[in-house]
Amino acid sequence: MNSFQKTIHEIDAGNLSDELADKLQELIGKVKERGKAGNLTLTIKIKPLNSDVESVQVSGTVKVTEPAKRERASIFFTTDDNTLVRENPAQTQMKLEPVPKPAAPIEPVSKVAATA
């Protein structure tokens, strides 16, 4: 394990490393689900510990920017009173009725044409 990996693993007793791995796995799932790019950012902050220049405090944060969710959309029409409806109010409604079954079977067109 190189120095950088070891340092990441030792910050907060390994909790930062575990969080980073978990967030990476979650982000990969979101990218696959949504088909868009996301970001995972690791920020390492190093500051002197008191006035002792030989000692430093190292902390880290993980930030995830998930890919945008896919939009969910439907088509609507507007009415004169500015409401939304699913059926076009300007379109004439057709009166549909069930077609009764014929008493005798209907011959296919190809058989009728052959006998004529």
Residue 73 near residue 38 (C-beta atoms within 8 A): no
- Beta bridge partners of residue 64, listed in sequence order: 40
Domain residues for the domain of 78 are: 1-39+65-92
Does residue 30 form part of some domain? Answer: yes
User: How do residues 65-105 score in pLDDT, each as one tens digit?
Assistant: 999 988 888 999 999 999 999 989 888 888 889 988 888 88
Does residue 60 form part of some domain? Answer: no
Does residue 112 form part of some domain? Answer: no
Does residue 3 form part of some domain? Answer: yes
Does residue 75 form part of some domain? Answer: yes
Backbone angles phi, psi at 8, to 5 degrees: -60, -45
Residue 18 near residue 42 (C-beta atoms within 8 A): no
Q: How far apart are CA 12 and CA 61, in angstroms?
A: 11
Does residue 20 form part of some domain? Answer: yes
User: What separation, in Å, do the N-terminal and C-terminal C-alpha atoms of the chain show?
Assistant: 89
Q: Spell out the alpha helix ranges (H) of the chain.
A: 3-10, 15-34, 109-115
Q: pLDDT band for position 61 (50/70/90)?
A: very high
Does residue 7 form part of some domain? Answer: yes
User: How do residues 12-43 score in pLDDT, each as one tens digit?
Assistant: 999 999 999 999 999 999 999 999 999 999 99
- Residue 16: exposure state from Cβ atoms within 10 A (0-12, 13-18, ≥19): buried
Does residue 114 form part of some domain? Answer: no
Tell whether the model's pLDDT for residue 106 goes beyond 90.
Answer: no
pTM, to two decimals: 0.60
Q: pLDDT band for position 115 (50/70/90)?
A: low
Q: What is the pLDDT of residue 93?
A: 82
- Count structural domains, the chain: 1
